[in-house]
Structure 1
Amino acid sequence: MSAPSARTVQACTACGMIDGISATRTPMTVAVRLTSLHRRRLREVWRSAGWPAQDIVEAELLAMGLLERQHDAAGRCTLRVTDAGIQTLAESAALNRAARSDHETLVEQVAQAMVREGRIAWRGLSLRARVVTGEVEGWQMAMPDVFSVRHTSVAAYLQPVVHEIKVRRADLLADLRRPAKRAAYLDMAGAVVYVLAEGIGRADEVPPECGVMEMRAGVLETLRPAPVRALPHEAGLPFAVWMALARATPVPMPESEQRRLGEDLSTLPDDLPDQA
């Protein structure tokens, strides 16, 4: 028996039969997990004219019903975010705001803890560090969540520390895959500590050159102390760091511990930390 022609196959496929065998395929339902890559593409389409990229990410968004194709009178195809896609964008934005709020809360708690220990702390600094990658040496900008030094008049006693705050496991794992970032922190500080929200990670997941703390029921607990190194700088810190600190405002002392001008210092509590 001769094989059917292409026209016959096309016609029979349209009616669902080829040589008496059903040519209709049963639609397959493939579960696609929505990732940050999908959400990013969804935002890009939302903010753009919707020209298709025709890659697998776009195909998955179309399959999930978050995007749909539209054709104009000239036959040009563009993409449009569906109502379900808009709902996904709104939910993603709400989750990001909540994560930022949790992160900022923990950053503030760590910064205040450093101040109560008698240290001078800063949030959101943008510092330049010298990083060596292989045999290549270069500069990299880093933004530690909390940077603190001891309140001292002796450069050798500064003990600069970087605290990196993580409240989501995905952010922690992504950060651990960035050795250059840790190298930048180690260039500007004698110790680096990861502070984790409860339950998002283990101490043994963090590289040994860093310490690990965890916030448990509102209390910072040390899971592994950070190795402390002396920085090879006569002034205690790299010059670029000193310049950044000169332009920045440190975290203020808690209101209950501040004193007004002219207030009797004999009323100061006896348990304030010693300062070298």
Structure 2
Amino acid sequence: MAVSDPTPSASPALTRAHGRRLRDIYRSAGWPSQDPLEIDLLAAGLLERVRSGAGHETLRVTDAGVRWLATVLARNRSALSAHEALVQRVAQEMARAGRLAWTGLSLRAQVASGDEARPLRWCVARPDVFSIRHTSVESYVEPIVHEIKVRRADLLADLRQESKRAAYRDLGECWYVLGCDARGRSIGEPDEVPAECGVLLAGREGRLQVARAAQRPPRAGLPFGVWMALAKATPLESPDDDAQGLLASN
């Protein structure tokens, strides 16, 4: 009995993994991997097979593939700009509240390892915004981590990383700041975020609204390694510093 060919389906849904593969092929000699990602890209018409005179087959990004890469690149740049803008807004709010705020830090934290012999392991946490109270009393610093999200896909992926949240909570309070989509709607609901984390909703008009407060971790101070990292970094300048400078010059 002859087996008929399957009915052609619509083009496959393309993901970030497809975009990374297409960029890799665009930058390389185009040697095929012959895996499902490559099949999807060929079926979508974003790749084409090219056979040399010696019989070797390579891959080449089509004009449609270049246009799709350009669209993805523009979208990524837009998301990055929105993310960085919200990071700066949150950091400025922390500085305006009298706190010392940093962005782009890499801090060592301890999380559960699942090993009875060595229950804790070190990891590197990279909070979007990290801030402490401006005080000389170590137990009063009240460290806070803000994790900024402007895309729902990024939020959902981040919420699956329990160890990442554990590292943040080892450093201090953990807050999620949820941006808006293109229609002005929040990219997530407060009840989607674990209860131990606080939630800030960032409105398009620039206001930050507390949707839920974060639970305070049992430790009030900071490890010596974090203090050393803060000593080597420069905190964000308070918005009021410029105003004070103008007053002094008059």
Give the TM-score, by structure 1 length.
0.82
Do structure 1's residue 215 and structure 2's residue 215 form an aligned pair?
no
Written as runs of structure 1 = structure 2, the 5 A alignment for 1:84-163 is 84-135=64-115, 136-163=119-146
Q: SS at the partner of 2:32?
A: coil
Task: Give the aligned CA root-mean-square deviation in angstroms.
Answer: 2.2
What is the CA distance between 1:256 and its match in structure 2? 6.3
Q: Partner amino acid for 1:196?
A: L
1:150/1:158 contact within 8 Å kept: yes
Q: Deviations over 1:161-204 (max 9, x none)?
A: 00000000011011111111111111111x10000003100111
Q: Deviations over 1:186-232 (max 9, x none)?
A: 1111x100000031001111111111111112110011110112416
Structure ID, larger Rg: 1
Aligned length in residues = 241
User: Is the 1:122–1:249 contact (alpha carbons within 8 Å) kept by the matching residues of 2?
Assistant: yes
| Unaligned residue ranges in structure 2 (runs of 5+) | 181-185
Q: Is contact 2:96–2:240 with CA below 8 Å preserved after alignment?
A: no
1:175 is matched with which residue?
Answer: 158
Q: Name the structure 2 match of 1:204.
A: 191
Q: 1:3-82, aligned counterparts within 5 Å?
A: 28-82=8-62
User: Which letter does structure 2 place at the counterpart of 1:253?
Assistant: S
1:211-265 Cα offsets, whole Å, 9 max, x none, are: 1111112110011110112416xxx21111111101111010115654239939x
Q: Is the 8 A contact 1:133 1:180 kept in 2?
A: no
Gaps of 5+ in 1: 4-17, 268-276
Q: Which residue of 1 aligns with 2:176?
A: 194
- 2 CA distance for matches of 1:225 and 1:253? 24
Task: Give the match's secondary structure for 1:263.
Answer: helix
For residue 163 of structure 1, give the secondary structure of its aligned residue in structure 2. strand
- Report sequence identity in percent: 54
Distance 1:24 1:238 in 2: 67
Tell whether 2:229 aligns with 1:241: no
Distance 1:27 1:256, change over 3 A: same
Structure 1 runs of 4+ with >2 Å offset: 23-27, 255-264
Q: Deviations over 1:27-76 (max 9, x none)?
A: 62323111111111111111111111111111010000000001111211
Contact 1:51 1:77 in 2 (8 A): yes
Aligned-partner SS, 2:244: coil
1 CA distance for matches of 2:142 and 2:218? 8
